[in-house]
């Protein structure tokens, strides 16, 4: 299919490029030593939730100025209706906005609160919840983390054991969450808890909003293979959460959560991130020379990246025509995750023994970028849903194969 821009889309793309050139703060420069997150929308050297509270005053001010510039146009949450602080953009226009930001090497803002929690509150929240929580997300003043996974309840999320017992106007929470991305930088969490231990495991689950400053909530960063802290474990020890912070009905949180997870992005972040890495690899191999086998492998990675881009365009095309994403998001996730691992291995072959260096230095031709990519890629096939889960979704929802 032909994915070329229409005249209107081309004009919007030019508008986005001009906006970035004029509004991105000069003091907000990339920091190659501050890569704390593994999300596909990350841009090398930036991590907005971390940057906004940086000890470097220029970096913190730059991150907040960038959020304010985006918020003024509704571009932190471009897909939200204007009444909630968004821009009401079409799916294609939002895709173009994120693509141009990634290609310009500037960070998106407010991640999971913007594209997961916000649409969930618009669909399931009370008027009070929407009034309280949506404006701070749209303005970049409040960040969120997703508290779903637990020890022993990752891929089998419905096996979660964190308890919430009703006590008057509060729920009292006890339990643990793990692998919670950037929880230690978040202002609030949205979590799944078990409110009926006797119900079938997909029932008896409730969706709650939790202020991280709540007494009884303890957040501990987890150090990963790179030595960074992109996620954390969260402990609830008698934490009291008001009933008014419940989204949807009690014991119906599983269905709210499934709606939340359906608000997937088209996958342009991973495409551009890997494309930029491959471009730098090609430039280096051209300068150093490379075997025919290596050049052939690089060519295959390029073809696969074009496939990934077209998968992303197909997904956004489905959204633009009113389609509800199902297995398509799993296809994107699976193909992109495995491609990240293949690209990392290709870079390892290109640099040989130098690929073992873990820190930038004079000896490493690309400042250890592909060493870090190789570390990142270890997590790629279970981050956001394991390969096995994605394949099951594709088989049952995409190919209509039986579940057993």
277's tokens = 């890495």
Instruction: Find, among 8, 29, 150, the residue nearest to 93 by Cα.
Output: 8
Alpha-carbon distance of 220 to 231, in angstroms, equals 9
Q: To 5 degrees, how large is the angle CA 394–CA 395–CA 398?
A: 55
CB of 147 closer than 8 Å to CB of 190:
yes
If phi over 0 gives left and psi between -120 and 50 gives alpha, with beta otherwise, what is residue 299?
Answer: alpha
Active site residues: 264
Contacts of 266 (CB under 8 A, 6+ apart): 91, 95, 312, 313, 315, 316, 319, 332
Alpha-carbon distance of 212 to 142, in angstroms, equals 11
E strand or H helix that includes residue 14: helix 7-23
Q: Label residue 198 exposed, middle or buried (CB < 10 Å: 0-12, 13-18, 19+).
A: exposed
Strands 205-211 and 188-194: antiparallel
Strands 188-194 and 144-147: parallel
Cα-flanking dihedrals φ and ψ of residue 242, to 5°? -60, 145
Alpha-carbon distance of 317 to 243, in angstroms, equals 39
The CB density around residue 332, as the number of other CB atoms within 10 Å, is 25
């Amino acid at each position: 299919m032909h994915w070329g821009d229409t005249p209107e889309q081309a004009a919007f793309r030019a508008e986005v490029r001009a906006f970035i050139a004029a509004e991105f703060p000069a003091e907000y420069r990339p920091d190659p030593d501050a890569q704390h997150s593994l999300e596909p929308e990350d841009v090398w050297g930036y991590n907005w939730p971390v940057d906004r509270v940086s000890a470097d005053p220029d970096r913190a001010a730059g991150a907040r100025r960038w959020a304010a510039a985006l918020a003024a146009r509704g571009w932190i949450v471009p897909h939200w209706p204007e009444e909630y602080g968004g821009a009401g953009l079409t799916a294609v226009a939002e895709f173009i906005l994120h693509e141009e930001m990634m290609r310009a090497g500037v960070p998106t803002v407010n991640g999971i609160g913007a594209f997961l929690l916000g649409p969930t509150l618009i669909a399931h929240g009370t008027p009070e919840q929407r009034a309280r929580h949506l404006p701070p997300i749209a303005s970049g003043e409040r960040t969120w983390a997703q508290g779903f996974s637990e020890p022993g309840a990752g891929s089998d999320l419905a096996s979660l054991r964190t308890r919430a017992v009703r006590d008057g106007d509060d729920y009292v929470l006890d339990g643990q969450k793990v692998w919670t991305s950037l929880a230690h930088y978040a202002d609030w969490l949205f979590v799944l808890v078990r409110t009926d231990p006797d119900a079938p495991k997909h029932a008896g689950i409730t969706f709650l909003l939790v202020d991280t400053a709540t007494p009884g909530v303890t957040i501990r960063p987890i150090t990963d293979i790179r030595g960074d802290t992109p996620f954390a474990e969260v402990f609830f020890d008698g934490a009291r959460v008001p009933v008014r912070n419940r989204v949807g009905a009690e014991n119906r949180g599983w269905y709210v959560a499934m709606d939340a997870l359906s608000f997937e992005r088209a996958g342009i972040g991973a495409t551009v991130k890997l494309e930029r890495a491959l471009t730098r690899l090609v430039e280096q191999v051209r300068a150093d020379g490379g075997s025919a086998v290596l050049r052939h492998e690089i060519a295959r990675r390029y073809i696969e990246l074009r496939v990934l881009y077209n998968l992303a365009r197909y997904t956004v095309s489905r959204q633009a025509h009113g389609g509800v994403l199902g297995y398509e998001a799993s296809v994107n996730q699976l193909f992109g995750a495995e491609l990240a691992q293949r690209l990392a291995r290709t870079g390892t072959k290109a640099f040989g023994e130098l690929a073992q260096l873990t820190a930038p230095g004079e000896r490493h031709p690309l400042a250890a970028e592909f060493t870090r990519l190789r570390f990142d890629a270890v997590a790629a096939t279970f981050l956001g849903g394991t390969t096995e889960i994605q394949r099951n979704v594709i088989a049952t929802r995409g190919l209509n194969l039986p579940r057993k």
